[in-house]
Structure 1
Amino acid sequence: MISYEYPLNERIRTLLRLEDLLLKIAHFTAGTAPQDHHVALLTIFETLEVASRADLKVDLVQELERQRQILMSFRNNPEISEEALAGALYEIEQASTGLLAMAGKIGQYLRENEWLMSIRSRAAIPGGVCQFDLPSYHYWLNRDPAVRRGDLGTWIQPIAPIRDGIEIVLRLLRASGHPEPLHARAGAFQLTMAGRTAQMLRVRLAQSETVVPEISANKYALNVRFMLPETVARPRVAERDVAFELTFCSL
């Protein structure tokens, strides 16, 4: 199955973008080639840009505390595993403690590093990080992969509490809904919201389905069109019935 997620507010949109960037950082940092670590560093810069657009730390702390209170209400419930509940509460408390311990603006320690900021400014120019533009960066890219990986770890570690908080909030959000099997007639599906509230929609399709969902939603209605994934011609609606799963997610 392929899952497509559609955020319904700016806060969830920011969390999904940061999750995607942080996963890319982890993936490329694990590599050994200079190109891997170049992409990892540029993605760290992107992460700082996205994270600085909102009061992210406060939002995460407030949401984690709200979820902690909800979980606390399940204590002594015979249908809930006390061990699983204790583990979830501990994870939330650890993430909250890490977030509260973060001082100053997110990524300020990186912004104070003149060498990194020189790379960031040159990276905004197409082809701007060639060896003749930044010889010291060329030197770093030719160091031992373990040294580069250690530096990348040092630069990303201070925002690890952000990563942990996002991981918990999005995991709870994704687990909050129940998938409903549906059919889009002639490639189109409409639904009146009728008081439904959600922060994110999830559309899941079988791997064999050669269509891509195009989603639009507001507090009144949801519209999903399944488009043929044309890479050359103009995208067009798949004029056939499409089976899919729809999940409304809300914390």
Structure 2
Amino acid sequence: MITYEYPFNERIRTLLRLEDLFQKVGSFMQRDGSHEHHVALLTLFEILDVSGRADLKMDLIQELERQRQSLLAFRNNPEISEQALNAALQEVEQASAALLAMTGKIGQHLRDNDWLMSIKSRASIPGGVCQFDLPSYHYWRHQEPGARREALLGWLQPMLPLRDALAIVLRLLRASGRPEHHVAANGAFQMMLGGSSSQMVRISLKLDDPYIPEISANKYALNIRFTRPDSDHRPRQSDSEVEFDMLFCNL
């Protein structure tokens, strides 16, 4: 199956973008190549920009506390494993405590590093990080992979509480609700939502189905146009019936 997610508000959009960026930086950091570590550093700069919302940390702390209170309501429930419940509570409490321990603005340690900020400013210029523009960065990229990885981890480490907290929130969000099977006639599907409080919708199709959902939605209506790529990967409206599963998510 391949799943497409469409967030209904800016808060969930931000969390999904950060999740994607943290996954990328982790993947590229594990490799040894200089080019991969360059991409990892640029991805760190993207995390810095996306996480710049002043209320992001407090939003996550409040959501984790809300989930903690929800979990506590299952205490002494014979249908709930106490061991599993305690593990979930511990995970939420640890993530919340780590967020509370973060001081200052998210990523401030990167902003305070003039060398990193010089790379960030040059990276916004096409070809701006060539060796003649930033010889010190050229030198860094020629260090041993282990040394570069250690430096990248040091720059990433202070932001890991943010990664861990949003991972919990998104996991709980995705686990909410139940998927329902639908069929889009002639590649088009519409549903009135009537002011729904859902925060995200997930559309799942079989991996070998050549359809791409183009989603537009708000709390009142959902519209999906299924397209299929031509030989140049340009999307064309499908005129066939498309079967898919849909899940509305809400915490």
Instruction: Give the TM-score taking structure 1 as reference length.
Output: 0.98
Give distance in 1, aligned partners of 2:233 and 2:173: 36
Corresponding residue SS for 1:236: strand
TM alignment of 1:101-116, pairs within 5 A: 101-116=101-116
Give distance in 2, aligned partners of 1:186 and 1:141: 52
TM alignment of 1:212-231, pairs within 5 A: 212-230=212-230
Give distance in 2, aligned partners of 1:247 and 1:116: 42
Q: Tell me which residue corresponds to 1:147.
A: 147
Give distance in 2, aligned partners of 1:222 and 1:242: 16
Task: Quote the offset at 1:37 in angstroms.
Answer: 0.3
Corresponding residue SS for 2:16: helix
Q: Tell me which residue corresponds to 1:12.
A: 12
Q: Tell me which residue corresponds to 2:100.
A: 100
Task: Quote the offset at 1:229 in angstroms.
Answer: 2.3
Q: 1:202 to 1:139 in 2, by over 3 A?
A: same
TM alignment of 1:72-151, pairs within 5 A: 72-151=72-151
**CA deviation string 1:76-121 (max 9, x = no partner):** 1111111111000000000000000000011111101011001000
Task: Quote the offset at 1:235 in angstroms.
Answer: 2.6
Task: Quote the offset at 1:177 in angstroms.
Answer: 1.8
Give distance in 2, aligned partners of 1:231 and 1:64: 46
Give distance in 2, aligned partners of 1:206 and 1:227: 14
Q: Tell me which residue corresponds to 1:182.
A: 182
Give distance in 1, aligned partners of 2:231 and 2:151: 39
Task: Quote the offset at 1:24 in angstroms.
Answer: 0.2
Higher mean Cα deviation, 215-224 or 6-15?
215-224
**CA deviation string 1:122-181 (max 9, x = no partner):** 000000001111111011111000000000000000011000001000000000121111
Question: Is the Cα–Cα contact under 8 Å of residues 99 and 161 in structure 2 kept in the other structure?
Answer: yes
**CA deviation string 1:16-64 (max 9, x = no partner):** 0000000000000000000010000000000000000341110000000
> What amino acid is the match of 1:3?
T
> What amino acid is the match of 1:11?
R
Give distance in 2, aligned partners of 1:196 and 1:118: 46
Question: Is the Cα–Cα contact under 8 Å of residues 198 and 219 in structure 2 kept in the other structure?
Answer: no
Task: Quote the offset at 1:197 in angstroms.
Answer: 2.2
Q: Tell me which residue corresponds to 1:24.
A: 24
Q: 1:231 to 1:98 in 2, by over 3 A?
A: farther
Runs of 5+ in structure 1 lacking a partner? none
Q: Percent identity?
A: 62
Q: 1:223 to 1:96 in 2, by over 3 A?
A: same
Give distance in 2, aligned partners of 1:111 and 1:244: 45
Q: Tell me which residue corresponds to 1:207.
A: 207
> What amino acid is the match of 1:116?
L
Task: Quote the offset at 1:234 in angstroms.
Answer: 5.0
Which segments of structure 1 move beyond 4 Å, counting only runs of 4 or more? none
Question: Is the Cα–Cα contact under 8 Å of residues 52 and 106 in structure 2 kept in the other structure?
Answer: yes
Q: 1:233 to 1:100 in 2, by over 3 A?
A: closer
